[in-house]
């Protein structure tokens, strides 16, 4: 098996049956996984922040939810992905720091909301999600099966 690692602000795809797309250490970031089960095409975005207004014209559109989702969808379609045969699942969005009074600083929650809002523009609702909490996660997509696994630090791996 070949592991394809998705770093901060990256978007990667594979249709190689031996590949596993993996993102390590999702804290407040969101891993957005799309999979076309008919074409065995999978992709993952590692979304870092909710909104590109802080850095318009960013050279890395995968960094922000509002720009990463359109790029993820465009690349998915260019590679032959069909939304009619697909699902999306998300994981991450932890609150890594305790902010009792400053909800605006809960980047994990804001990332989750922004990703879900961006997906709605494509009439997509995540089939499943593993979001929130206070620990980081690792997320894996097995291209051969479309199975997605999430594991929080100190916990057992679970299928999404």
Active site residues: 29
Q: What angle do CA 9, 10, 11 make, to 5 degrees?
A: 130
The pairing of beta strand 30-36 with beta strand 148-152: unpaired
For residue 15, give Cα distances in angstroms to 20, 76, 80, 115, 133: 10, 11, 10, 24, 32
Distance CA 35, CA 40 (A): 7
């Amino acid at each position: 098996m070949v592991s394809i690692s998705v770093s901060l602000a990256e978007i990667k795809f594979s249709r190689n049956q031996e590949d596993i797309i993996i993102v390590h250490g999702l804290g407040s970031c969101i891993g957005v996984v799309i999979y076309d089960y008919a074409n065995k095409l999978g992709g993952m975005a590692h979304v870092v922040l909710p909104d590109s207004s802080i850095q318009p014209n960013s050279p890395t559109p995968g960094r922000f939810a509002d720009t990463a989702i359109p790029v993820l969808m465009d690349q998915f379609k260019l590679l032959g992905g069909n939304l009619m045969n697909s699902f999306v699942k998300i994981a991450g969005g932890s609150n890594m720091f305790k902010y009792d009074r400053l909800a605006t600083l809960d980047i994990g929650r804001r990332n989750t909301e922004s990703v879900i809002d961006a997906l709605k523009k494509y009439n997509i609702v995540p089939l499943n999600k593993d979001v929130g909490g206070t620990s980081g996660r690792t997320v894996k997509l097995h291209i051969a099966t479309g199975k997605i696994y999430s594991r929080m630090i100190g916990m057992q791996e679970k299928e999404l």
